[in-house]
Chains A and B, each alone.
Chain A
Amino acid sequence: MDGTEKLTFSQKSRVSTNAGALDPMVYLKAGIIVLLAVMPFVFPSFRVMDVMAKIMIFTLVVASFDLLLGYTGILSFAHAMFFGIGAYSVALILYHAPEPAWYHIIFAVIISLAVSISLSLIVSFFSLRVKAIFFAMLTLALAEFAHILGVQWTSLTGGEDGVSFVLPGVFNFNHSFGTLFHAQMNGRLVVYFLILISTVFMFAGMLRFIRSPLGRVLKSIRDNEQRSIALGYQTFRYQIYSIVFSSAIASMGGILFAMWLCYVNPDSVFHTAIMVNILLMVLIGGMGTLYGSIIGASFLIVTENWLPGLLKSVASLVPENATVQMLADRWQLYFGILFVLVVLFFPKGVIGTIRSHIRQKKLVG
């Protein structure tokens, strides 16, 4: 945690001189990337790969949300909406394209960027007009609206049934290159690496964003908007940058998500539950930490994948008790309880708690 710790004190220059071979964080980061890269070859199971890919995608989305909530202090419930816009744009384009080709994906990226940027500009314009709490309500209403639109605009979105599509060319899951270390070298693997590379790049981009002078202004606005205004910053402009940037990243996450599943429906990308998940991931990782998103996303997605099975096997011990079966079925209940507990008793999250612990030690020592 040493590297991130220094950065929070905005001693960037010192870190960059210390960085390189000496910083253990660099090894950790490189280790994570290498681990993600070799995973499909070491554990050539779809389940493991699926979990890994989702962790990466949600790390991206959660980090972009953290940019808003943790670094800019804006609570927007419309973040999942941008995620959904990305997912739907690639899905719809590939679904409607007579012959899906690679450039359709580029096209989808451009479309979803255009839509999410213009929409986030409108949204951020409202954030200028209204108070923070109003803004949260506004975006919540907007997110619900997007969900309803996804369900009801059947001619475009296919309604609740959603859209399934096939990926073009090398991305196609049936496209095989043979095997390597027992792993199927197919389109799915290509998408996996596309996700890996995009995530690393965009995550690095977000790190640059918060470490740039602009990012520091954002932090100062979050901590004390009046003071930042008094210092002569047009705080509104910076908030727009933050909203637009993070929305754009979220929509990219949506594109990767749709490409991985080759299927989207309103409940999987627009539902409030997605937003609650993203919030929970941010909170578990810790607001304003960015790296926390990795921990938050990993924790939630891993539990999401294993918890239902675990509960079922526990419930199968008492097969005649209907209440136990019901309690086991509603595994999201435990997420909700966890969420409330984290907010109430653990508001700094994992990384945040570690950081304040280190800070405490430094002050004492």
Chain B
Amino acid sequence: MTRQAISIAAQSGKVKAGMNWFIGIGLFMLPLIWIDPTTYLTLTVAGFSLGMLIFLIASGLTLIFGLMDVLNLAHAAFFAFGAYMGYTVLNLINSFGWSETASFGGSVLYLAVALGAAGCIGGILGVVTERLVIQKVYGDHLMQLLVTVGVSFVLVEILKIIWGVNDEVVPVPMAFQDSFIVCGVFFEYFRVVAIILGVGVFAALQFVLKKTKIGIIVRAGVENREIVKTTGYNINRIFTLVFAAGAAFAAVGGTMMAVFNQAVDPGMGDQFLIFALIVVIIGGMGSVTGSFIGAVIVGLSFNYVAYLVPKMALGVNFMIMAIILLIRPTGLFGKE
């Protein structure tokens, strides 16, 4: 290609990207036809926060797939374990009587403790799963799918043994039961926290992957294990770490979702796995940015449609997934 051709190609690429943004924003504004602006904004805030919760789950999935080329369907179980862990911790804190005294700072602190505990349990489960099972099936997608389905099944059964089979009510820190109104738009405190957490995780992930040494090693390890090994890095340990991190994200997402829904049940992993799968497929497997955008799309469209035609909410997500797959089989940010 000559230099001129390259510049033309680059330009048309830019034009195309501009078009995509245009279409995206257009679709984003589309519900305004049926919904009045303040309700629309309230729904947007709610949808965005739902999207961020889903992103927490999907990010772990896409991290593990994108970096390690492992499709981990046990993700739903990590998520459920995280949710139950958060529930247990919040219950424990609640038994000391915070419900009367908690300030906003206190609520955030309690939530942080619960999230930390969930992250720990997720990380531990991740390490155990990777060491015992995943290491044996690197490079074989079919085996990975099968074995992680099995692991998921086992983990959920263990969860039922520990916590029982019934739905449980999650105590929500006081301050998160409140909301504030700005110009007629509702902001629930917890949703704001969810948005901050989601965006924070996204930024942190981007930074670690793009800018740090560990990010370089991990990305290199995905592409060519042998070079990384012979350069002097223990790639197995690094991959265990990545897997554990992915599992921890799922568990943190689980606690967030438990607080959000104010309830936990053993089957909750499967229900949210479907969202995570849709997000990862829309965004393109392995792209953290893609998952972020995908999660926002799913969260917003779910909320808009749930407001307009409640029964169609999940169906619309499926339609979006189908349409995007037809246009781009690898998802929005997926590589060929």
A contact set with B: CB distance below 8 Å: 73, 75, 126, 129-134, 136-138, 140-142, 144-145, 148, 152-153, 272-273, 275-276, 279-280, 283, 323, 326-327, 330, 332-333, 335-337, 339-340, 343-344, 347
A sample of 19 inter-chain contacts (CB < 8 A) reads: A126-B325, A130-B330, A131-B329, A133-B141, A137-B277, A137-B281, A138-B325, A140-B277, A141-B274, A272-B149, A330-B157, A330-B160, A333-B154, A333-B161, A335-B153, A336-B151, A340-B147, A340-B154, A344-B147
Task: For the complex formed, measure the closest distance between the CB of B308 and the CB atoms of chain A, giving whole angstroms.
Answer: 17
Give 8 closest A-B pairs by Cβ, nearest first: A333-B157, A336-B154, A336-B153, A339-B150, A340-B150, A144-B274, A129-B329, A141-B277
Interface string of B175-217 (1 = CB under 8 A from A): 0000000000000000000000000000000000000000000
**B residues in contact with A129, CB < 8 Å:** 325-326, 329
Task: For the complex formed, measure the closest distance between the CB of A289 and the CB atoms of chain B, giving whole angstroms.
Answer: 16
Inter-subunit contact A133/B145 (CB<8 Å): yes
Task: For the complex formed, measure the closest distance between the CB of B138 and the CB atoms of chain A, giving whole angstroms.
Answer: 13
Q: How far is the CA of A273 from the CA of B274 in the complex (A)?
A: 15
Q: Which of B94-133 contact A (CB under 8 A)?
A: 133
Q: How far is the CA of A138 from the CA of B271 in the complex (A)?
A: 15
B314 beta carbon closer than 8 Å to chain A:
yes
Q: How far is the CA of A75 from the CA of B270 in the complex (A)?
A: 19
Closest to A267 in B: B267
Q: How far is the CA of A335 from the CA of B156 in the complex (A)?
A: 12
Closest to B328 in A: A129
| Listed residue (A73, A126, A323) with the most chain B CB atoms within 10 angstroms of its CB | A126
Task: For the complex formed, measure the closest distance between the CB of B1 and the CB atoms of chain A, giving whole angstroms.
Answer: 28
B238 beta carbon closer than 8 Å to chain A:
no
Q: How far is the CA of A242 from the CA of B161 in the complex (A)?
A: 40
Inter-subunit contact A340/B281 (CB<8 Å): no
Known: A126-B325, A130-B325, A132-B141. A343 touches B71 (CB 8 A): no
Q: B149 touches which one: A133, A279, A344 (CB < 8 A)?
A: A279
In the complex, besides A133-B285, A326-B161, A344-B147, 14 extra interface pairs with C-beta distance below 8 angstroms are A75-B145, A126-B322, A130-B325, A131-B329, A131-B330, A134-B325, A138-B281, A140-B274, A140-B277, A144-B271, A275-B149, A330-B160, A337-B150, A339-B150
**B residues in contact with A283, CB < 8 Å:** 146
Task: For the complex formed, measure the closest distance between the CB of A351 and the CB atoms of chain B, giving whole angstroms.
Answer: 17
Task: For the complex formed, measure the closest distance between the CB of A299 and the CB atoms of chain B, giving whole angstroms.
Answer: 16
Inter-subunit contact B318/A340 (CB<8 Å): no
Inter-subunit contact B71/A272 (CB<8 Å): no
Task: For the complex formed, measure the closest distance between the CB of A219 and the CB atoms of chain B, giving whole angstroms.
Answer: 16
Inter-subunit contact A344/B158 (CB<8 Å): no
Total contacts A-B at CB 8 Å: 112
Main secondary structure of the interface of A (DSSP, over half): helix
Inter-subunit contact A130/B329 (CB<8 Å): yes
Task: For the complex formed, measure the closest distance between the CB of B328 and the CB atoms of chain A, giving whole angstroms.
Answer: 9
**B residues in contact with A142, CB < 8 Å:** 318
Q: How far is the CA of A83 from the CA of B136 in the complex (A)?
A: 32
Q: How far is the CA of A231 from the CA of B288 in the complex (A)?
A: 39
- B interface size (C-beta, 8 A): 39
**B residues in contact with A133, CB < 8 Å:** 71, 141, 145, 285
Closest to A323 in B: B161
Q: B150 touches which one: A137, A148, A326, A343 (CB < 8 A)?
A: A343
Known: A332-B153, A340-B151. A137 touches B280 (CB 8 A): yes
Inter-subunit contact B71/A276 (CB<8 Å): no
Known: A141-B318, A145-B318. A136 touches B153 (CB 8 A): no
Inter-subunit contact B145/A134 (CB<8 Å): no
B278 beta carbon closer than 8 Å to chain A:
yes
Task: For the complex formed, measure the closest distance between the CB of B151 and the CB atoms of chain A, giving whole angstroms.
Answer: 6
**A residues in contact with B153, CB < 8 Å:** 273, 276, 332, 335-336, 339
Closest to B329 in A: A129
**A residues in contact with B274, CB < 8 Å:** 140-141, 144-145, 148
Task: For the complex formed, measure the closest distance between the CB of A345 and the CB atoms of chain B, giving whole angstroms.
Answer: 9
Q: How far is the CA of A275 from the CA of B146 in the complex (A)?
A: 11
Inter-subunit contact A141/B281 (CB<8 Å): yes
Q: How far is the CA of A128 from the CA of B158 in the complex (A)?
A: 38
Q: A333 touches which one: B147, B158, B314, B326 (CB < 8 A)?
A: B158
Q: How far is the CA of A132 from the CA of B144 in the complex (A)?
A: 13
B244 beta carbon closer than 8 Å to chain A:
no
Q: How far is the CA of A343 from the CA of B146 in the complex (A)?
A: 7
Inter-subunit contact A340/B145 (CB<8 Å): no
**B residues in contact with A131, CB < 8 Å:** 329-330
Q: How far is the CA of A82 from the CA of B19 in the complex (A)?
A: 40
Q: How far is the CA of A138 from the CA of B330 in the complex (A)?
A: 12
**B residues in contact with A335, CB < 8 Å:** 153
